[in-house]
Amino acid sequence: MPVEAYEYRIQEIRRKIKELDSVMTDDVNKFEKILQEQVRLTIEGEALLIVKKVISEVFVRIVLRTPVDTGRARASWQFGVGTAPSGVAPDKEYPELKDKEISETQVRAAVASALEEISVAPASVWFISNNLEYIEALEAGWSKKQAPAGMVSLTLREMTRQLEQELGKA
Domain of 162 in residue numbering reads as: 3-169
What is the pLDDT of the chain when averaged over all its residues? 82
- Which residues make Cβ contacts (< 8 Å) with residue 88, sequence separation at least 6? 72, 76, 130, 131, 132, 133
Tell me the pLDDT tens digit for each residue of 88-147: 888 887 777 766 566 677 888 888 877 777 766 666 788 899 999 999 999 988 877 777
Rounded-to-integer distance, Cα 112 and Cα 102, Å = 16
Mark residue 87 as left, alpha or beta (left: phi above 0; alpha: psi -120 to 50; beta: remaining).
left
Tell me the pLDDT tens digit for each residue of 152-165: 999 999 999 988 88
The answer to whether 77 and 127 are in contact (CB under 8 A) is no
Total domain count for the chain? 1
Tell me the pLDDT tens digit for each residue of 56-102: 899 999 998 988 888 889 889 988 888 888 888 888 877 777 665 66
Q: What is the model's pLDDT at position 123? A: 63
Rounded-to-integer distance, Cα 32 and Cα 62, Å = 45
Q: State the pLDDT confidence band at 170, using cuts at 50, 70 and 90.
A: low
